[in-house]
């Protein structure tokens, strides 16, 4: 705001002497007067000559506002007339705990996050004094969403450290409103904790309740990770990307937990004035184990819905919820975006004492062992499949057609083995060589004992043999280098060729003989 320098200096009647000091003095004077007018423009809003306060005849008397720190709420307003309310709010920059072992430099209204709760009545004339503590680094101001006027008061309350500002407004609209600092960079001021709630009660008042609480959610952005110890600095990149480190109620992790929990009794009706300072996140406000009987959505004074589980609270917005406590226990306040509740601190407790009502909520009634249905069914099915499979195998084996087909395969394969290995001595037609190599065709020796035949193939044989009444004396080398299935196949072949007829030989039979027989030495030929 750059005002016009007063014309008197330019059109001065004093003879103009170009003396350096005078010139500097005049120029300084110009600047001084300019800032003086700037000051005037700052403190008096564009207004009639006379001050606003004494003009309104509906205003009776004056009082100093009772301001409370969360979770306390100032008492409900009993008066039935509008009055002048003086609000004295001090801005202080303080280092406080944000989580165990972790500290943060909060910028606060009244020394805490959230800022003080202000309670006025519709029609009140509020004289707002904003003081900025001399130890503050930054200038601050305030924008109250309850104010109808430029910046919500921000334009008229811009205050340097060690100074104070004053402005007045009329509380025209009832409702629950957020207030916050609006100094550049605004997001940073809000991210550092500069927000709170102002309640403008409607003229007729709100429905009475037994207990009122003040809870405000905010997101915080630190250079370190969640839980990193020490003094944490604000991280502007995380704030721009909307990736908070902490999402908490009332300015710190665990602020409403344990002995700091909200407390109430069974049978009482509770009202929670819930605000969301942001700067970025919206909140899905829910109380685990309770249902909101009445929701005043977005902080308006009309009840908007009944029996609500979770209500949406925009950033820079609010809600108030009423619910009756019917059973005792600990009820958890959360932002139902669950990773914020269980990973970033958006969790609080409401501890309710009183008599149990088991009809309403019984607690655990039975604790029993459960084996599960899935396992039994599985094993029964498996067993069935196994038995069917073995039946199928038996059917295959017993079916002569199938059995003969597999025997044919074995004979074909066995013939290949015979034609590679055995024919050398036993000849292509199984005739053998008189006196030395017994025949295989129509051989009583071969067909009499399967196991003996298998053993001879595996370990060889030397010495005298009588086959079909004739003597033979020779040496058959061990063939244990052949796998079980080839031995089974070649024996099946010879037992069903050259005039022989017999059962097939299985690889299992060969394996059995091989495993029980002593290991034969590999024959070395000299």
Partner 1 sequence: MTVFAHARSVRLVLHACLLMAVVLSERACGGSTAGMSLLPAGNYRPLFRATNDPETQTVASFWLDRTPVTRGQFLDFVKACPKWRRSRVIRLFADTSYLSDWKADLDPGIDKDPQVLSRPAVQVSWFAARAYAEWRGCRLPTTPEWERAAAEGFLLAEGLKEPEFRTALARWYGSAAPEVLPLVGSGRATLHGIHDLHGLIWEWTEDFNSSLVTGDSREDTGLERQLFCGAGSVGARERSDFPAFMRAGFRSSLRSPYTLSNLGFRCALSAKP
Where does this chain bind partner 1 (CB under 8 A)?
A: 1-5, 20, 23-24, 27-28, 30-32, 34-35, 37-39, 41-42, 93-95, 104-105, 134-139, 141, 143, 150-151, 154-163, 182-188, 223, 231-237, 240
Instruction: Residue 198: name the closest of 212, 183, 182, 214 by CA.
Output: 214
Comparing CB distances to partner 1, the nearer of 151 and 502 is 151
Asked if 127 and 53 touch (Cβ cutoff 8 Å), the reply is yes
Cα separation, 330 vs 215, in Å, equals 17
- Give least dist CB 36 to partner 1, A: 9
Asked if 299 and 340 touch (Cβ cutoff 8 Å), the reply is no
Q: What is the DSSP letter of 260?
A: G
Cα separation, 220 vs 255, in Å, equals 15
Cα separation, 430 vs 212, in Å, equals 109
- Give least dist CB 178 to partner 1, A: 15
Comparing CB distances to partner 1, the nearer of 228 and 444 is 228
- Give least dist CB 29 to partner 1, A: 10
Comparing CB distances to partner 1, the nearer of 98 and 490 is 98
Instruction: Residue 509: name the closest of 446, 445, 454 by CA.
Output: 454
Asked if 489 and 410 touch (Cβ cutoff 8 Å), the reply is yes
Comparing CB distances to partner 1, the nearer of 150 and 267 is 150
Comparing CB distances to partner 1, the nearer of 184 and 375 is 184
Comparing CB distances to partner 1, the nearer of 124 and 143 is 143
State the first-to-last Cα distance of the chain, in angstroms, to the nearest integer: 119
- Give least dist CB 87 to partner 1, A: 18
Q: What six digits make up the tokens of 185?
A: 């960079």
- Give least dist CB 279 to partner 1, A: 12
Asked if 310 and 317 touch (Cβ cutoff 8 Å), the reply is no
Cα separation, 436 vs 263, in Å, equals 109
Q: How many CB atoms lie within 10 A of CB 404?
A: 11
For residue 362, the surrounding DSSP H or E stretch is: none
Backbone angles phi, psi at 167, to 5 degrees: -150, 165
Q: What is the DSSP letter of 253?
A: T
Comparing CB distances to partner 1, the nearer of 27 and 392 is 27
- Give least dist CB 125 to partner 1, A: 21
3-state secondary structure labels for all residues of 47-96: CCCCCCCCCCCCCCCEEECCCECCCCCCCCCCCCCCCEEEEEEEEEEEEE
Asked if 107 and 189 touch (Cβ cutoff 8 Å), the reply is yes
Instruction: Residue 215: name the closest of 304, 333, 325 by CA.
Output: 333
Comparing CB distances to partner 1, the nearer of 156 and 276 is 156
Comparing CB distances to partner 1, the nearer of 1 and 14 is 1
- Give least dist CB 32 to partner 1, A: 7
- Give least dist CB 49 to partner 1, A: 12
- Give least dist CB 85 to partner 1, A: 22
Cα separation, 113 vs 249, in Å, equals 9
Q: What is the DSSP letter of 185?
A: S
Dihedral sign computed on CA atoms, order 109, 112, 114, 117: negative
Instruction: Residue 483: name the closest of 518, 452, 459, 514 by CA.
Output: 514
Cα 278–Cα 276–Cα 133 angle in degrees, nearest 5: 70
Instruction: Residue 414: name the closest of 439, 435, 393, 440 by CA.
Output: 440
354 Cα distance to chain centroid: 34
Asked if 126 and 171 touch (Cβ cutoff 8 Å), the reply is yes
170 Cα distance to chain centroid: 44
Backbone angles phi, psi at 59, to 5 degrees: -80, 125
- Give least dist CB 286 to partner 1, A: 32
- Give least dist CB 350 to partner 1, A: 33
- Give least dist CB 320 to partner 1, A: 27
- Give least dist CB 166 to partner 1, A: 13
Q: Which residue has the tokens 């908070």?
A: 244
């Amino acid at each position: 705001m750059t005002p016009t320098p007063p014309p008197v200096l330019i059109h001065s009647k004093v003879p103009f002497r170009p003396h350096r000091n005078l010139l500097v003095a005049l120029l300084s004077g110009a600047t001084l007067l300019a800032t003086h007018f700037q000051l005037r423009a700052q403190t008096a809003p564009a207004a009639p000559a006379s001050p606003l306060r004494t003009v309104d005849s509906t205003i009776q008397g004056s009082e100093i506002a009772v301001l409370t720190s969360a979770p306390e709420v100032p008492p409900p307003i009993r008066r039935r007339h509008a009055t002048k309310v003086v609000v004295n709010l001090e801005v202080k920059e303080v280092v406080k705990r944000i989580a165990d072992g972790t500290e943060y430099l909060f910028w606060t209204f009244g020394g805490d996050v959230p800022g003080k709760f202000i309670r006025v009545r519709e029609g009140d004339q509020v004289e707002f004094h904003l003081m900025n503590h001399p130890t503050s680094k930054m200038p601050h101001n305030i924008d109250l969403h309850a104010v109808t006027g430029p910046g919500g008061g921000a334009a008229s309350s811009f205050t340097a450290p060690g100074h104070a500002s004053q402005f007045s407004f009329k509380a025209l609209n009832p409702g629950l409103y957020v207030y916050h600092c609006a100094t550049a960079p605004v997001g940073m001021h809000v991210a550092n904790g500069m927000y709170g709630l102002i309640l403008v009660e409607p003229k007729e008042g709100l429905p009475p309740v037994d207990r009122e609480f003040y809870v405000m959610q905010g997101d915080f952005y630190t250079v370190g990770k969640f839980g990193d110890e020490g003094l944490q600095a604000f991280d502007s990149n995380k704030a721009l990307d909307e990736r908070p480190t902490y999402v908490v109620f009332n300015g710190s992790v665990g602020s409403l937990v344990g002995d700091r929990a909200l407390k109430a009794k069974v049978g009482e009706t509770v009202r929670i004035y819930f605000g969301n300072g942001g700067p970025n996140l919206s909140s899905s406000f829910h109380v685990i184990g309770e249902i909101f009987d009445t929701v005043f959505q977005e902080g308006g004074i009309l009840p908007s819905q009944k029996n609500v589980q979770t209500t949406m609270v925009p950033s820079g917005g609010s809600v108030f919820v009423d619910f009756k406590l019917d059973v005792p226990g600990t009820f958890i306040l959360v932002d139902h975006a669950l990773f914020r509740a269980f990973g970033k601190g958006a969790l609080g407790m409401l501890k309710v004492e009183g008599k149990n009502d088991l009809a309403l909520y019984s607690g655990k009634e039975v604790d029993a062992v459960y084996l599960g249905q899935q396992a039994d069914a599985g094993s029964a099915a498996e067993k069935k499949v196994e038995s069917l499979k073995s039946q199928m195998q038996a059917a295959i084996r017993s079916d002569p057609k199938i059995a003969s087909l597999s025997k044919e395969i074995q004979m074909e394969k066995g013939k290949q083995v015979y034609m590679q290995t055995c024919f050398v001595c036993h000849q292509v037609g199984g005739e053998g060589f008189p006196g030395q190599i017994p025949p295989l065709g129509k051989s009583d020796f071969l067909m009499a004992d399967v196991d003996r035949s298998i053993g001879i193939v595996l370990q060889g044989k030397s010495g005298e043999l009588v086959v079909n009444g004739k003597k033979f004396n020779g040496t058959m080398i061990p063939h244990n280098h052949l796998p079980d299935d080839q031995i089974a196949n070649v024996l099946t072949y010879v037992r069903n060729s050259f005039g022989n007829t017999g059962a097939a030989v299985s690889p299992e039979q060969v394996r059995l003989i091989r495993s029980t027989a002593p290991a034969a030495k590999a024959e070395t030929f000299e």
